[in-house]
Chain A
């Protein structure tokens, strides 16, 4: 099994936005989806999810409503707002630019420098 990576600061919000963009989820569902997409490579403390969800809702990037889970439990479902979609697009582009720049730097060989 590959070693688990600690999250970079600030990336949790982006992961949540991405997870929720695929369809409304309750808190535990967000956690499962992130683990599923990343194939369990990202380590998230479960409780830390909630302050992040509340913060995103406060910023009007997420909206929530109560519903019923697959297991017939009352659960709060989060979905992406229009502002959230825009933020996800912007952040994804920013992230990709960063990754490209970082890989360019890290992938360069001494000769080219």
Chain B
């Protein structure tokens, strides 16, 4: 049947009625005319015609019935009736609505994050369903040994693969932009010239990059800026194209402005400018890499041709990888290249957020289940109140199926309202995830949720499932009223029937169990976060860190060194400052360390062993400033400059591995073809994460390499005070310079744990919510039971039970239930806490402390929920209870 005719039938009933009316009128008139022709008077003819026709209204109704689109029409009636019933008990309805809104809203929010961060992270890209990440992998392992690609590898792929529309280079980078009296970091990206065309993103002003801009070492200083940068920094200047902006000290010509809403292709960050591949060296302190097959720095994407499957594309890429491995064994032996769906992208925050979002999803499903159980219980209680209505309707001949349908429709009205409210809630929560993450010194995090039709579809499905979950039990119960029994027992009932009681108790049991699981999860994450915080990073967390970008300000090497010396002298003269030192990279920072192949004198390497180590370039007094002890020898002084022999300080792990316990001070090793003499051994510290094992690492003096950026200060001054002092001192040296954000090293470390923290926050919030819902559920059931068993309680009292006994009776009832729920929850938690995976650090998924504290919290909540009903039970007046 056509949709339009269904519509006709539903909404144009009156027209149908008019038609029917007219048809019958016309019949009667024709008949009367015939009768008149046979000689009967006009009035009598009309009367006879009506009489012969029979019961007009009766036949009309029969016609209407055949015409009605029964199911749908009944549904609309149920809907209207359901709405009226919800309005009749506004308190219960609102509470149910609130529970459901929380449950459905939390689901909508998490789904919108999954959609916006993992599944469709780049809404401005024309065909992101054909976009995949590409990364290097180690053949035979599942892990990504070296996920980045080198430029020569990239060119080989581009030349040999036919199933792809484009290979895209993307490498996140950063620079400093001076804005007024402070400097800010800006996130940028080094991209291949096809970037904008391949993504289908068209600059709103100017152009994207030209193919020629891929080639020529540092020869194309051009940039496309983001819409936001254009608006904020350049005030939306319509004549921006052709103007220049200094980036990393090099004047760049602005050739384009990206459209609004395009934040680049690095999940988690809003990219503010793009430069072509040829400018790689300018933006990468670790050197020129465009001709080196072993320098892997590209975070690549591909656009598949329409209709190409992942398998087809992968086999082509694997063929290239195999060929490269054979042609360049030195760099590509055992190396594979793998395509990843965007949500598995190995090099951006999709990967770091995947487990957190997975947990979030599990958690919100739990919360939804608990909310459903609550609403189910509320409806059960109301079902008892409405038993009279059901009984009457059954008695006058309503079918049970009809009642069931109506009750389910009422549930559907509830959950539809809750979906609407929940989506609103989800809309507000869209950017919550970025807010939960700590700020990173002015850089714009971008982790938007995406409320598109898929999320709406999922929410609708959640709504239907929820309806089935919370509506079914009460509906079945309510529609199975035993007619005779119900009427008889109406006034005398003690508890609302065994089966109904059982359903209510099991729902509470379920709630307790689920909340317990969440509490255990939160406890485990808390424990593991505490363990992480207890790990010593190997440097003082109270040291302040900030940065001064001299390179971007156009300083040459000599001027920079003079400036650094003067600034250090001035800062160290400030009361409360013990020492200060520059370094290239801050531990736990986003910027990567320099790395280079090394050859150690006296350490024979196997033929295929190419030790590549990371190092930092640090100024005089760096180790003392950071609080890293020097175990042997000395650290750098101002005398370790360009004129002095090249030196290095190695860490314990490097000494142990390459000098095998011998004191390395005085021996030499070779880095980039230059011999360095070891002058000291520093204690191991953590360089990137608290959980990393001791890693061989060394330091070289800033004066003997490219120079510093990060400024570390050991002081008793608080960060804010130091920031002001520092800004003043820098200004007095150079009006145009400004420091970056001043934070403690402790804060710097904490920022790397952001994702564990988000997972913990989320789990804590949701488990408290779940606990609250469970407590409400338990309170509801307990107080309902007490009010229903007034007679029984009164009788006990009359037989000699004291208030104390009744209190104990009700409390033990509630606590027994809780204990059963906890037992069930513990079983589930033991089975599922492994899901927390890498977020757990040095905590067994069966950690007794987490389980015990969850038990404690659960029992407290249960006690609180049972106390009021128990107190009410103890105050029952036996005389009134028995009479009533």
Residues of A within 8 A of B (CB): 26-28, 45-48, 50-51, 54-55, 58, 69, 71, 73-76
Is B66's CB under 8 angstroms from A55's CB? Answer: yes
A46 to B30, CA, bound (A): 12
A51 to B54, CA, bound (A): 13
Chain A residues closer than 8 Å to B19, beta-carbon distance: 76
Is A47's CB under 8 angstroms from B66's CB? Answer: no
Is A50's CB under 8 angstroms from B63's CB? Answer: yes
A73 to B60, CA, bound (A): 20
Q: Which of B58-95 contact A (CB under 8 A)?
A: 58-60, 62-63, 65-67
A58 to B16, CA, bound (A): 13
Residue B127 is within 8 A (CB to CB) of chain A in the complex: no
Chain B residues closer than 8 Å to A55, beta-carbon distance: 66
Is B26's CB under 8 angstroms from A58's CB? Answer: no
A76 to B66, CA, bound (A): 17
With A47-B55, A74-B22 as given contacts, are A58 and B30 in contact (CB-CB < 8 Å)? Answer: no
Q: Which of B386-418 contact A (CB under 8 A)?
A: none
Is B33's CB under 8 angstroms from A75's CB? Answer: no
Is B26's CB under 8 angstroms from A50's CB? Answer: no
Closest B residue to A46 by beta carbon equals: B53
Chain A residues closer than 8 Å to B20, beta-carbon distance: 50
Is A47's CB under 8 angstroms from B67's CB? Answer: no
Q: How far is the CB of A70 from chain B (nearest CB, A)?
A: 9
With A51-B66, A58-B66 as given contacts, are A46 and B31 in contact (CB-CB < 8 Å)? Answer: yes
Is A51's CB under 8 angstroms from B63's CB? Answer: yes
A76 to B18, CA, bound (A): 12
Closest B residue to A51 by beta carbon equals: B62
A108 to B467, CA, bound (A): 65
A54 to B53, CA, bound (A): 16
A54 to B19, CA, bound (A): 12
How many chain-B residues does the 8 Å CB contact rule pick out?
A: 24
State which of B26, B53, B60 has its C-beta within 8 Å of the C-beta of A26.
B26
State which of A45, A46, A51 has its C-beta within 8 Å of the C-beta of B27.
A46
Closest B residue to A69 by beta carbon equals: B30
A69 to B31, CA, bound (A): 12
Is A28's CB under 8 angstroms from B59's CB? Answer: no
Q: How far is the CB of B34 from chain A (nearest CB, A)?
A: 8
Q: Which of B10-65 contact A (CB under 8 A)?
A: 19-20, 22-24, 26-27, 29-31, 33, 52-56, 58-60, 62-63, 65
State which of B30, B54, B62, B67 has its C-beta within 8 Å of the C-beta of A28.
B30
Chain B CB within 10 Å, residue with most, of A48, A51, A76? A51
Chain A CB within 10 Å, residue with most, of B27, B56, B65? B27
With A46-B52, A47-B55, A47-B59 as given contacts, are A69 and B26 in contact (CB-CB < 8 Å)? Answer: yes
Is B26's CB under 8 angstroms from A28's CB? Answer: yes
Closest B residue to A29 by beta carbon equals: B30
What 16 new A-B contacts, CB under 8 Å, besides A28-B26, A54-B67, A76-B26? A26-B27, A27-B26, A27-B27, A28-B27, A45-B54, A46-B27, A46-B54, A47-B56, A50-B24, A50-B63, A51-B59, A54-B63, A54-B66, A58-B66, A71-B33, A74-B22
Chain A residues closer than 8 Å to B60, beta-carbon distance: 50
Is A50's CB under 8 angstroms from B30's CB? Answer: no
Chain A residues closer than 8 Å to B54, beta-carbon distance: 45-48
Chain A residues closer than 8 Å to B67, beta-carbon distance: 54, 58
Closest B residue to A55 by beta carbon equals: B66
A74 to B19, CA, bound (A): 11
What 3 pairs across the A-B complex have the smallest Cβ distances?
A47-B54, A51-B62, A47-B59
Q: How far is the CB of B49 from chain A (nearest CB, A)?
A: 8
Chain A residues closer than 8 Å to B23, beta-carbon distance: 26-27, 50, 75-76
A51 to B55, CA, bound (A): 12
Chain B residues closer than 8 Å to A47, beta-carbon distance: 53-56, 58-59
A58 to B62, CA, bound (A): 13
Chain B residues closer than 8 Å to A76, beta-carbon distance: 19, 22-23, 26
Chain B CB within 10 Å, residue with most, of A69, A73, A74? A73
Closest A residue to B22 by beta carbon equals: A74
Chain B residues closer than 8 Å to A73, beta-carbon distance: 26, 29-30
Chain B residues closer than 8 Å to A48, beta-carbon distance: 54, 59
Closest A residue to B31 by beta carbon equals: A28
With A27-B23, A27-B27 as given contacts, are A50 and B59 in contact (CB-CB < 8 Å)? Answer: yes
Q: How far is the CB of B686 from chain A (nearest CB, A)?
A: 79
Q: How far is the CB of A22 from chain B (nearest CB, A)?
A: 18
A27 to B31, CA, bound (A): 11
A47 to B57, CA, bound (A): 10
Q: Which of B257-277 contact A (CB under 8 A)?
A: none
With A48-B59, A54-B67 as given contacts, are A75 and B26 in contact (CB-CB < 8 Å)? Answer: yes
A58 to B70, CA, bound (A): 12
Chain B CB within 10 Å, residue with most, of A46, A58, A74? A46
A73 to B32, CA, bound (A): 13
Q: How far is the CB of A40 from chain B (nearest CB, A)?
A: 14
Chain A CB within 10 Å, residue with most, of B26, B29, B54? B26
A55 to B144, CA, bound (A): 70
Chain A residues closer than 8 Å to B30, beta-carbon distance: 26, 28, 69, 71, 73, 75
Chain B residues closer than 8 Å to A26, beta-carbon distance: 23, 26-27, 30
Chain B residues closer than 8 Å to A46, beta-carbon distance: 27, 31, 52-54
Q: How far is the CB of B28 from chain A (nearest CB, A)?
A: 9
Chain B residues closer than 8 Å to A71, beta-carbon distance: 29-30, 33
A46 to B20, CA, bound (A): 15
Q: How far is the CB of B757 from chain A (nearest CB, A)?
A: 64
Chain B residues closer than 8 Å to A45, beta-carbon distance: 53-54
Chain B CB within 10 Å, residue with most, of A48, A50, A55, A75? A50
A35 to B23, CA, bound (A): 20
Chain A residues closer than 8 Å to B65, beta-carbon distance: 51
A46 to B59, CA, bound (A): 10
Closest B residue to A27 by beta carbon equals: B27
